[in-house]
Chains A and B, each alone.
Chain A
Amino acid sequence: MVRLLVALLLIGPVAAGLVGVVLPAFGYFPSIGRTTFGFDAFRELFMWPGFVPSVRLSVTTGLGATVLAVIGASLISAALVGTTSWQRLRVMLGPFLALPHATAAFGLAFIIAPSGLIVRLLAVLFGWDRPPDLVIINDPLGHAMILGLAMKEIPFLLLMIIAALPQSDFDRRLQVSGALGYGRIAGWFLTVWPAIYGQIRLPVYLVLAYSISVVDVAIILGPTTPPPLAVAITRLMNDPDLAMRSKAAAGALVQLGLVMAAFSIWWAVERMCRAFRNGIINGGGRLPSAEVTKPFGKATAYAITAMLIMGIVIAALWSVAGFWGFPDLLPNSFTLRSWARRDALIDAGMETVLIAGAAVVAALLIALSLTYTDRKLPTWLLYAPLIVPQVTFLPGLQTLMLFAGLEAGFFPVLIVHLIFVLPYVLLTFQGASDAWDRRFAVIGAALGRSRVSIFVRLQLPMLIGPLLGALAIGFAVSVGQYLPTLLIGGGRVETLTTEAVALASGGDRRLIGVYAVAQTIAALLPFVIAALLPAIVWRNRKGMTHG
């Protein structure tokens, strides 16, 4: 029963949204008097001079970011798993994951832009009074965007790798390969990585689908002449001429096709890599040179950590800056003026917390009832709403909602957030829940305890750590949602993220700084609670904390 409801919740809106997009794309759009099917919308879309470069950009940035993220995550894990740096990195991963994409993108821009931190340091050193006229941010080939996406996806993949590590038997595999004369890195890539990759494949495809279809990061870091297809679709959706809606719908379907095409490319790349690896294994070479990547993996981990933290620090500085010209490293003066516009900030903050809180409570109830009834959802089902691009099905859903006479506002937004929150909560929690040793339940039952009692007194307390961790991720996912809030909320639901992206268009770095800091706090607070709560609750029961 619960499973059926959850399946409906996850699939229903996506399916409805697809219907709402397919009809106008093929010409059926009664509101503007079109009721005959045809390919006009596609023809118009293909006539747009920016179409081909826009599609090419989506594919290259999406694939580029995914390749970079997978290479980065594999190098970092190869170099660090089992070391003390790995333990330190592990602690940072949750918060890094929680940081909304838009916040991380702003942070990166503050650092690498021609008037950003790096150039300012050089300018002070060499006495420049003007930044170089270099295309770094919004570059037509999307390099800044690839970098920004990869930087955010590497922590996600690392977290997935951590979940996969226990089943990979990595220490014994490394021992054996070490005994056979392979170095750590070579041993990792030839024996451990295949086992891990098998388990993180779906998340990798998720990263690929996300990167190809992303809108907010593309608006902040991506090219504009032309923008990637997902941004172009969002613009078309907003055109006052309603006829543009069918063009947008056609674009949304092309977007779905792009994701499918990228999946097949990735699938082919996977096969090639496998063949390549088998070739190396059969050749018997020990690849001593692979060890040189070890410092590189470590450096990548440090670079990402530094970038994300510096980004937030600079955002915080901008939020209290008076005039801050180039090439000054610090503002001329400090003022709390940007923070003094409290009303809008507090409203948006409350709305953000309310939606995320409600979504997380709903996700919690669903996760608990699934655990209690000992049922699992098929993994593909959880991934379905994450893999279909948001920009494909949300516009259709918005149109259908209007036709059904459903008010835009808090509850529709909550439901749509839940579609994205729930998979992350369940995906992160199910691993720990599966790993729970059933023999505790057997002992409990043998001691005469009821199922409820075992659940409440044994299973839940032991799983409280992972459960809170999963909820924290769910909260952060909700905080970071841009397109669902914008489209389904009908503009009446304002969260920190929609405000921040709206402000990005105005380019007022002080206010962007304020919202970036507020977003960070909203997304990170649950992690702090999740980390502290078990320690407080179980301060007298050390054995429970490793649950």
Chain B
Amino acid sequence: MKSPLLALALIAPTALWAETDPADWDAVVEAAKGQTVYWNAWGGSTATNDFIAWVGDRVEEDFGVILEHVKLTDTADAVTRVLSERDAGKDDDGAIDMIWINGANFASMKEAGLLYGPYAESLPNWAYVDTDGKTVRTDFTVPTDGYESPWAMAQVVFMYDTADMEPVGDMAALLDWTAAHPGRFTYPQPPDFLGTTFLKQALVDLLTDPSVLQEPATDENYAEVAAPLWEWLDALTPNLWRDGTVYPQTGPAQLQLIADQEVDLAISFSPGEASTAIANGQLPDTVRTFVLDKGTIGNASFVTIPYNSGSKEGAMVVADFLMSPEAQAHAQNPDVLGYGTVLDMAKLDDAQRAAFEELDLGIATLSPAELGSVQAEPHPTWMTRIAEDWDARYGVTQ
């Protein structure tokens, strides 16, 4: 169905190898010195921007790599950029050296042969990564095959104002709550990734057996599988904030809505986001988080390197630094980001482990045990279809 992309993949030149083999790490570090890495990453969150700036300071200090954060409003911008560069025959020194990516964007770049690699499992810090317990080798069911390296774990939680409500256990209970409290809940407008995540979470929770979502959606099964979601959304939409005629455009925009007392409940893909936002004065300190009884969707955030980057070594150095115990502990600090680590605590030495154990996760953050079981991301084909149908059903209100 994505025939243009497939066509691209077929006519694509065979993947170019970097000047330096990732396995020869000393040579990579040597070549990286003085390179400028343009990291294209979503720029809508203050905390993330600050974290990336910190990474920039650290890699310049240790490796002489200059990191520039290109702030995106949508990761797809970067994908488009690489595609157009290849159309124009710009096969080296493209504008983008590294992308914060996952899900459908990764799937389409990998399919079109736009990525450099495999490199991820040659990085020295890969040794610490929790390859058994965390979904770091598949991305929305698509195998990563070393074309992207993980740097943070995310899991859906719901942020709620304890002054206004109690946690709800499942999507049916959420619907009942909105019926009793109309106008007090909304979600980011798809195709924003948190908006589509909310739809996925709803579908996973509503299905008795969500395992069907692990296989690509087909013309035969799509309508039947998605039906409970539409039925549920039809009932939910009139109860939404602004009667569902206006939606917040991104996840963080919901924080402002809670602070403004516009809504009482919002979805987040980062268990530590609420604590960080309270510390930043963006949320009232009465906000806490909860997960659903059956668990919530989780996935990993990755970075990837376009095939035509002119600073692949520099990008690999940054990707490796992101997986270092130092960067991981910094990212997990709720005063910084509050992102979950991709590392396996058992693989760290005592000093490294202590840096994680000392962290106070923050008043609104659930412990790993409280976060409960992680549900798998559906195959990206489900989301593509659901986002399109959402637009037709709820994206046009007049």
Q: A225-B397, A502-B73 are in contact. Are A490 and B81 (CB under 8 A)?
A: yes
Cβ-defined contact, A225 with B253, below 8 A: no
A399 to B81 CA separation, bound complex (whole angstroms):
10
**Which of A63-71, A126-134, A436-444 is found at the contact surface with chain B?**
A126-134
**Which of A135-143, A197-205, A270-278, A419-427 is found at the contact surface with chain B?**
A135-143
Within 8 A of B (CB), among A48-76: 49-50, 53
Q: A115-B260, A399-B84, A408-B95 are in contact. Are A49 and B396 (CB under 8 A)?
A: yes
Q: A50-B391, A243-B4 are in contact. Are A324 and B259 (CB under 8 A)?
A: yes
Cβ-defined contact, A492 with B261, below 8 A: no
Cβ-defined contact, A325 with B259, below 8 A: yes
Q: A225-B394, A240-B76 are in contact. Are A131 and B261 (CB under 8 A)?
A: yes
B35 within 8 A of A: no
CB-nearest residue of chain A to B164: A130
A138 to chain B: which residues have CB within 8 Å? 246
Cβ-defined contact, B73 with A135, below 8 A: no
A153 within 8 A of B: no
A324 to chain B: which residues have CB within 8 Å? 259, 281
A241 to chain B: which residues have CB within 8 Å? 2, 4-5, 108
**Which of A180-188, A354-362, A503-511 is found at the contact surface with chain B?**
A503-511
Name the contact of A240 in the complex, choosing from B79, B88, B250, B260 (C-beta under 8 A).
B79
A139 to chain B: which residues have CB within 8 Å? 245-246
B385 within 8 A of A: no
B204 within 8 A of A: no
Which of B2, B69, B71, B391: most chain A Cβ within 10 A?
B71
B284 within 8 A of A: yes
Cβ-defined contact, A323 with B104, below 8 A: no
Cβ-defined contact, B38 with A492, below 8 A: yes
B395 within 8 A of A: yes
Q: A53-B396, A133-B242, A402-B85 are in contact. Are A321 and B46 (CB under 8 A)?
A: no
**A-contact 0/1 string along B52-89, CB 8 Å cutoff:** 01000000000000001111111011111101111111
A380 to chain B: which residues have CB within 8 Å? none
Name the contact of A130 in the complex, choosing from B261, B280, B398 (C-beta under 8 A).
B261
Cβ-defined contact, A492 with B71, below 8 A: no
Cβ-defined contact, A508 with B260, below 8 A: no
Name the contact of A491 in the complex, choosing from B5, B72, B243, B256 (C-beta under 8 A).
B72
Name the contact of B395 in the complex, choosing from A50, A333, A491, A499 (C-beta under 8 A).
A50
A398 to chain B: which residues have CB within 8 Å? 84
B81 to chain A: which residues have CB within 8 Å? 490-491
Within 8 A of B (CB), among A311-338: 321-327, 332-333, 335, 337
A405 to chain B: which residues have CB within 8 Å? 88-90
A33 within 8 A of B: yes
A245 to chain B: which residues have CB within 8 Å? 80
User: How close is A488's CB to chain B, nearest CB, in angstroms?
Assistant: 12
A84 to B266 CA separation, bound complex (whole angstroms):
52
Cβ-defined contact, A507 with B246, below 8 A: no
A343 within 8 A of B: yes
User: How close is B369's CB to chain A, nearest CB, in angstroms?
Assistant: 30
Within 8 A of B (CB), among A489-526: 490-492, 494, 499, 501-503, 505-511
B262 to chain A: which residues have CB within 8 Å? 114-115, 130-131, 133, 326
Cβ-defined contact, B7 with A33, below 8 A: yes
Cβ-defined contact, A507 with B395, below 8 A: no
A341 within 8 A of B: yes
A169 within 8 A of B: no
A245 to B84 CA separation, bound complex (whole angstroms):
10
B392 to chain A: which residues have CB within 8 Å? 49
A468 to B387 CA separation, bound complex (whole angstroms):
51
User: How close is A4's CB to chain B, nearest CB, in angstroms?
Assistant: 30
CB-nearest residue of chain A to B256: A507
Cβ-defined contact, B7 with A32, below 8 A: yes
A223 to B242 CA separation, bound complex (whole angstroms):
12
Sample of 10 further A-B pairs with CB below 8 A, known A491-B81, A506-B252 = A33-B4, A49-B396, A137-B246, A225-B189, A225-B398, A241-B5, A325-B259, A341-B53, A491-B77, A502-B72
